Every structure is written in C-alpha cells, then in structure tokens.
Chain A
Amino acid sequence: MRFIPISQGDAPETPVASKHLPLTRRNLLKGTGVLMGTLAASSPLALLAPSTAWALELKFLNQTEGDTLLQMGRVLFPHAQLPDAVYALLAKDLDGAAATDQDKARQLREGLQHLDHLAGGSFLKASATRRLEAVKAMEGQDFFNTVRGQCVTSLYDNEMAYATFGYEGSAWEKGGYILRGFQDLKWLPDPTPEASPAPYMG
C-alpha cells in the first residue's frame, strides 16, 4: 500500500500526487500521532492521488487531539464531499504552529480539553448535535478564533479543495480561458455585440 503524505501549499503548481513517499516505521515513531484515512474511490481526488490511502504525522498533538481538530473542522465548515484528507490539513497546520509556539500549544491543548468538557467528556464520541453545541459555545474565544481562522487557509487553499469545489486554479500555463470557456454559459441569452464585442482572435 502506498501513502500520500499530505503537503499543503509548499508548491501550489504541483498536484497533490507529486510528492508521494512511503510512510516508514521511522516516520511513524517520530510523531506523537498519525492521522490516516482513505479517499473514496469515487472522489475526483482519487484521480489526483497515487493511492487512495493517506497519512499525516503530527509533531506535537497526540492522536485524539489531532482527530478532534479534524472533526471540529467538520463542524465549522461542513462539506459532505470534502474528504477527511483535507480536514487533516487543519490538524497538520495547527500542530505545526503548536510545535514551534508554546503559547499556541497551550491554547490548543486547553481549548481541546474545554471542547471535550463541553461535549460531555469526549468530543469525538459526542453526537453531531452535541458537537455543534460545543463548538457554538466556544464562538468568539481565542481557541475558536485560532481554529476557525486556520480553517480558512487550511481547508480552502489547496488543490484537493479546488478539485472538490470546481475551481480551476492557475490559468496561465493553460493559456487562460480565452479558448477555454470564459463565455460558455448557455442558460441565458448572449449580450449584444455592442455591450460585449467578440474576442479578438488575430
């Protein structure tokens, strides 16, 4: 089985699949937690990936904390069609921040404990309704703001999100859209040529 280590943003022009390395035992031991999952074979992302299995190593957070952040991301920005592999990026990015910033580490650890408490002991074991209530109860707090703010880039600024939501990303290397559908909308009549002249084609 091959794993996709999830790298986000380091090289936006590179598809998700490009930096695939097998996950070794040594890598496994280095981190305190590893998030793993599989992409549904029906997902458009499966076509981008060398393998449907993915794994993500944590430096600071433990397994439960990583999983909790992943699930908190699902409560904050619930997208049925967005795979766990994307929400795992949230855990990865927050883990990375915690590994180098003690204040951030404390804020995350305490916030996650509080979240568990609000969810009746374990956020992961709580029902969807209870999870939403727990997250809502923390709205406006520093921990909530940190996680919500991180979601904005972790969840939406990556190639898997582009593919999921149907955004085509960088257009330059494809010659732009002049020949690729910038006027392909057919469910409304075309504007007059005075309002919208034909493209110059040389």
Chain B
Amino acid sequence: MAKFDFSDDSVVVIIGSGAGGGTLANELCQKGIKVVVLEAGGKQSNASFINDEWKSFSQLAWLDKRTTSGSWRVAKDFSGLPAWICKTVGGTTTHWAGASLRFQEHEFRTKTVYGELAGANLLDWPITYKDLEPYYAKAENKMGVTRTHGIPGLPGNNNFKVMYHGATQLGYKEVHTGNMAINSQPRDNRGRCMQLGFCFQGCKSGAKWSTLYTELPAADATGHFELRTQAHVTRIEHNAAGRVNAVVYIDQDGKEQRQKARIVCVAGNAIETPRLLLLSASNLYKDGLANSSGQVGRNYMRHMTGSVYAAFKDPVHMYRGTTMAGIVRDEARHDTRRGFVGGYELETLSLGIPFMAAFLNPGGWGADFAWWMDHYTNLAGMWLVGEDMPRETNRVTLNTNVKDQYGNYVPNVHFDDHDNDIAMRNHAFTEAERIYGASGAIKTFRTPPYPSTHNLGTARMSARAQDGVCNRWGQTHDIPNLFISDGSQFTTGGSENPTLTIVTLAIRQADYIASQMTQKAI
C-alpha cells in the first residue's frame, strides 16, 4: 500500500470506504490519481465475519452515540440507534442485502411528475435517467448484478417460494429473485452464493459484492492508494480563499492527525456526512461547510419501510439462503389511484431467532409475542421499501447537549412520517398480507420500521445553489474542491434500494473529478 505524507497536498482525501467512498477511490486510482481513504472503522475480512446476529452487530455496526426526535416509531423503539449502518472497512456494503435496482426514469423528476405536495420538499434531480444509464451499466458490471450483463438470476429459497406463489396468485407480474450483487455463478474471482443466510452479517463466502474485497484491493493494486483505518474524521479545514485543504482525524491511537488535501470527498453515509459539514463550521462558513442554502442535514430520507411476517401451518425455514431472496416490483410504479405518489418494492427478508426477538414487535411481550416465536420455523417474511417524501424538517442536526467519545456534538436525527409515507405503508402492509393470504397464511403481523438502513438526501443535488448542497456531479455549490460522494446527494429517494445508484454516481463523479483535475479547475 502507498504511504502519503501528511503534508502532501496533492492527494484526494475520501472520507468513508463504503459504496460511495470505496468505489470512488478505486475509480480515481485507476486513473492514476493519488487517494487517501480515511475509514472510521477497523478492518474485518470474510474470515472474521461472524454468522451470529448480535456478535456481528457488535463487530460491524456504527454504535457511536446518536440521538433521535420526532414522531417516527424508530425514535421510540430504538432511541439511540436511528440507523443500522456500519463502521468498518467497506462500510455498509458489508451489511447490505445486495439488492441492486435502477431508479425509474420518472423518479429523477418527482416535482414535475408528482406535483406540489404540502409538507414535502420535492425537487427534480439536476440529472436524468439518460445521464446515468451508461453508468448504471458500468456499476452493474462492476458489481456483478444478476439478470444484467448475461448473469443468471439467483435460485430462490423457501421464503421466496411463499412470496412468489401468493404474488402470482394475485396477478402480480414482475416477481423474481431480484437483481442482486451476489454471484449466482463464479465471477470476478469470487465464488457463487452458498445460501448461508447471513447476508446482513458480512458475506463469509464473498459472493456478495462489498468494497471491502473488490474496490479497495483493486485500488490498492494501482499503487496510488492508501487506506487508513480507525481514522475518525472530526473536521474539514479550508484556506483563506474558502477552498478545503485538510482533513483532521483521530487516529487509532487516539492522536489527532491532519492530512492535507487537494480535494475532499465526503462519503460517511447520510448522517455522518452532514454532521461533519456542520462540525466544520468556521468564521468564514458559520453555518457549516457548503451550507449557504441552509439545506445541509435537511431532507433526510430513510425510505418508507415496514415488514410483514406470516405464519403457515407447514415449515418454511425462511432463514435458509439469501436474506433478500426475491422481489415483487409491480407496486414500484407511480399511480395515484392507490392514494399516494411514488411506489414501493416488496422484498423477502428473514431474521434469525435473536433478531426476530428484538425486531418483530419492539417492546412487545406476552402470549401473543411468544406465539410468533413458537412458530418461527413456519414463518415467511418480507420487507416493504418505498419512496418517502423529502421534508425540510426531517433533518440531521448537531445535538449540542450530547458529546461523543472525542468531545464532538453527536448527530440528532429528527423524522416525522409524511402523510404520503403513511398511506403508502398502509397500502404495502395490506398487499403483503394479501400475498401471504393467497399462499395460505394462518396469521400475519405488521412489523414497524427497523432502524434506517437507507439514509439519504442530507446534502442533496440541486440545479440551483439555493435549493440544495451539491450540483449534478456531487460537487458542492459553495466549495468547488469539496464533494459529496454518498447517498446524501440524492435529491429524492426513489423506491429502490439505493446502493446501485450510489455506486453509479461515484463512477460518474470520478470521471468528472479527473477531468476537472486535468483542466486544473480544482
């Protein structure tokens, strides 16, 4: 691995090594650009991942202190854990299920298509589906997404069989084992899926794409790459002209370090990214970096989510095999006859006994709860994930009453469901119940949202500087050598799992950064 000097001000510093940061690092290194990645977490491997839900959670999850507010159910059930994301090399690509869906064309222009919606801060993206199409193809090829580039679909497990039967009985047409960044056959020096059933716990076989063992080693092989682990960034600094020029972090020994930089790219996921911009406030940028619009931290989206579990009289063993084993896509369309704008996906999901106890019905107890656990082997489950409305008041702020282990204010995540989110969730719950009913369910249960895994929108793209934080390239409107490189830049959330789009934007952003560097524009 390369080793760059702290005073080397020619490097691109990327904060975070997940879907956005890890991909961007590799893409830049492939072009001969020097990159230092600062990752707050330590490094695990396929060998050190653990097939045990709680132990893996302790190993991978971001557990630094956070607070919550607002009327969302997560604030009540998991007040200190608004999000279930990772602090480890590879970021949340260690934990993700692998679902890799393109946004639909209309989802890039929701303000135009959905119209004005009270209480929603809708905005069209400054880019179109056409702009992203070639980059989507590159991302799918890089990640080995099934049902693209001639890659076969994955075999469906028992959980999928139950969903498939019910959904097709009801007349749903687009029902299959999904577009997954999980090898259905050996590819890219990684083996095929062994159907372990522990996708969320880090894939021990390496069949699931993660930057940990794809992008980052590829970047390293170029000789232009340095990864510093347990490097927790606390501040981004700038020069008198207002350009960012250094990143301050706490290293693994608890010592403060300062890495000079030509360009800084922030990819800390949509809670830490705005937090870092806010923590970096200065005399010149009193409201935080890149925040002349006041939009940093606002428009926090987490997708409309919910789950339905169903009990059957015969065994399912839903935990065997891929966690997200199949999908129903028919409800992803925009069709206001259902009583809401936007759409949602239905995707299988399973939890082991330990997490089922924690997440089926948080706070629940008694004979009803025990009944569900008693029927564990006969359960099937699906997750409902759809587009939620951006709202200015749904927002990540600094909680000035609470400090983290380094003495910095922790992020507070405030969220209130929009009426559209609630209407969509109720529709999705009902459809999921109908699907399981058509497969013979004896009982169904509506599980409230888990801590957020899809965190989006807190430094969003906008055509005009006053509407958002960054432009069509993820470059901040205020500071040309400061970039947003993760899901924070999403203008709206779409109904699809966001990782593929994050990777797609990172590949595209790398092209732009390289051209800007060549032109000496930054």
Contact = CB atoms under 8 A, between A and B. Distances in A.
A171 B319 CA distance: 10
A12 B195 CA distance: 21
Contacts of B161: 183, 185, 188, 190-191, 196
A177 B184 CA distance: 14
B156 A196 contact: yes
14 contacts: A12-B55, A77-B365, A78-B370, A162-B353, A168-B319, A178-B193, A181-B158, A182-B155, A182-B197, A183-B321, A185-B158, A185-B162, A185-B315, A196-B156
A196 B153 contact: yes
B164 interface: yes
B44 interface: no
Interface in B119-161: 152-158, 160-161
A181 B317 CA distance: 9
Given A156-B353, A169-B352, A191-B164, A184 B198 contact: no
B319 A198 contact: no
B321 A172 contact: no
A82 to B, nearest CB: 9
Given A77-B365, A183-B157, A172 B196 contact: yes
B321 A157 contact: no
Contacts of A191: 156, 160-161, 164-165, 168, 175
Interface of B: 50-55, 152-158, 160-162, 164-165, 168, 175-177, 184-186, 192-198, 204-205, 312, 314-317, 319-321, 326, 352-354, 356-358, 363, 365-367, 369-370, 373-374, 376-377, 439
A176 interface: yes
The 7 closest A-B pairs by CB, nearest first: A176-B194, A196-B156, A182-B321, A170-B51, A156-B357, A166-B377, A185-B158
Nearest to B160: A196
Given A165-B374, A185-B317, 17 more contacts: A12-B50, A77-B373, A148-B363, A156-B353, A157-B354, A161-B353, A162-B353, A167-B353, A169-B51, A170-B51, A170-B52, A171-B197, A176-B195, A182-B155, A182-B197, A197-B155, A199-B155
Contact of A182 (B153, B157, B162, B175): B157
Contacts of B152: 197, 200
A183 B158 contact: yes
A191 B160 CA distance: 9
A185 B315 CA distance: 7
Nearest to B358: A152
B423 to A, nearest CB: 29
B158 A196 contact: no
A81 B375 CA distance: 12
A29 interface: no
A182 B377 CA distance: 13
A152 to B, nearest CB: 5
Interface residues of A, number: 46
Contacts of B374: 79, 81, 165
A168 to B, nearest CB: 7
Main secondary structure of the interface of B (DSSP, over half): loop
A197 B377 contact: no
Interface in A126-182: 148, 151-153, 155-157, 161-162, 165-172, 175-178, 180-182
B52 A184 contact: no
A200 B157 CA distance: 14
Contact of B177 (A148, A161, A181, A197): A197
A124 to B, nearest CB: 20
A176 B197 contact: yes
Contacts of B205: 172, 176
Contacts of B51: 169-172
B370 A196 contact: no
A196 B153 CA distance: 7
B113 to A, nearest CB: 30
B156 A195 contact: yes
Contact of A178 (B195, B370, B373): B195
Given A77-B373, A79-B374, A182 B154 contact: no
B377 A196 contact: no
A177 B320 contact: yes
Contacts of A12: 50, 52, 55
A150 B184 CA distance: 40
Contacts of A9: 54
